[in-house]
């Protein structure tokens, strides 16, 4: 039983939730800060955060489960991915599909509990994040599709609180799109030979490894520009600037690791990007807290 639980968590890459969740929670705090400052620490606040977390877990688990089911044949012939739960025979494709359906039902129910806008948009979200799994079969823009899927977290959290879109959250969302696409370009370098051999689309396969690294750097510079704009459009304080400086250093170190050796891509992908998202959330939190509770901070 424990082995199956472990395989299931590996199937949905539960540990990777650390990438999207901090940005979604940051958007949640910014929504209250921008629209409902009087509702901090109320039942409305805690009800929203509860169902946002449920929706995020449902969305990500469903997307990853279907990704593994859809990619099972590709994964089985790729040395790097052949040990994944479904190709290795630890879990069946049927189990993955059922898990995906149940996860998406959880997302729909959580969306219903949040507001009508989220509920009506939930089928479109499901369609988009599932469609991403097919994109590497026909376009090297698949990295941007992944980034956009990740950006649905913070944009969705904003919608869950406010019920409507705003250019402010779209700037943050674009920052997440570019961040996710940038690190996915780096990560796909590990499958460069496999993608070329099997006709799969990626930036490294299309433009070469050297150019892929340059494109990743450019995407991350643009991401930092968007995150810098967040300071101005939300009128945040010096604590956010300090946090963004640390985030910039993590971006720099991520690319320094890859520059030193492509064998460092795993470390750059998992460790640095986890630090980036968590640091961003921490300093959004302290920045907002300082505005409302300066004596405490």
- By C-alpha distance, which of 60, 54, 52 is closest to 99? 60
Give the pLDDT of residue 49: 95
Output the pLDDT for position 226: 98
Nearest to 192 by CA among 169, 176, 209, 175: 209
pLDDT at 217 over 50: yes
The pLDDT of residue 12: 56
Q: ∠ at Cα 214 (77, 200), nearest 5°?
A: 25
Stretch 132-154: mean pLDDT, rounded?
Answer: 96
More confident residue, 268 or 116: 116
Q: What is the pLDDT of residue 296?
A: 44
CA 75, 77, 81: angle at the middle one, nearest 5?
Answer: 40
CATH superfamily of 2-292: UbiA prenyltransferase (1.10.357.140)
Please write the tens of the pLDDT for every residue from 33-85: 999 888 887 899 999 999 999 999 999 999 999 999 999 999 999 998 898 88
Start-to-end CA distance of the chain, whole Å, equals 46
Q: Is the pLDDT of residue 109 over 90?
A: yes
Segment 220-239 shows an average pLDDT of 96
Question: Residue 268's CB: how many other CB atoms inside 10 A?
Answer: 23
Does position 8 have pLDDT exceeding 90, yes or no?
no
Kindly report, residue by residue over 241-264, the tens digit of the pLDDT: 999 999 999 999 999 999 989 888
**Which of the pair, 291 or 148, is modelled with greater confidence?**
148
Q: Does pLDDT of 295 surpass 50?
A: no
In this prediction, residues 94-99 reach a mean pLDDT of 93
Going by pLDDT thresholds of 50, 70 and 90, the confidence category of residue 14 is low
Give this prediction's pTM.
0.92
The stretch 117-136 carries a mean pLDDT of 97
């Amino acid at each position: 039983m424990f082995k199956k639980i472990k395989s299931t968590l590996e199937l949905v890459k539960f540990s990777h939730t650390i990438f999207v969740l901090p940005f979604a929670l940051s958007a949640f705090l910014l929504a209250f800060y921008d629209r409902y400052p009087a509702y901090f620490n109320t039942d409305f606040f805690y009800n929203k955060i509860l169902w946002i977390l449920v929706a995020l877990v449902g969305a990500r688990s469903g997307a990853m489960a279907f990704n593994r089911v859809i990619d099972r044949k590709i994964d089985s012939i790729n040395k790097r991915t052949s040990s994944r739960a479904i190709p290795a025979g630890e879990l069946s494709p049927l189990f993955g599909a059922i898990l995906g359906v149940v996860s998406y039902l959880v997302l729909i129910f959580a969306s219903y509990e949040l507001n009508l806008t989220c509920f009506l948009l939930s089928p479109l979200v499901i369609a988009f994040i599932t469609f991403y799994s097919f994109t590497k079969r026909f376009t090297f823009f698949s990295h941007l599709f992944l980034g956009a899927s990740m950006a649905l977290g913070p944009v969705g959290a904003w919608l869950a609180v406010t019920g409507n879109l705003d250019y402010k959250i779209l700037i943050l969302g674009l920052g997440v799109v570019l961040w996710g696409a940038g690190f996915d370009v780096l990560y796909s370098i590990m499958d460069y030979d496999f993608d070329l051999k099997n006709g799969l689309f990626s930036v490294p396969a299309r433009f070469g490894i050297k150019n892929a690294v340059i494109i990743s750097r450019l995407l991350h510079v643009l991401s930092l520009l968007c995150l810098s704009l967040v300071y101005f459009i939300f009128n945040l304080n010096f604590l956010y600037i300090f946090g963004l400086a640390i985030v910039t250093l993590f971006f720099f170190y991520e690319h320094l690791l890859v520059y030193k050796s492509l064998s460092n891509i795993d470390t750059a992908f998992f460790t640095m990007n986890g630090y980036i998202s968590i640091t961003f959330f921490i300093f959004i939190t302290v920045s907002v807290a300082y505005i409302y509770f300066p004596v405490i901070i």
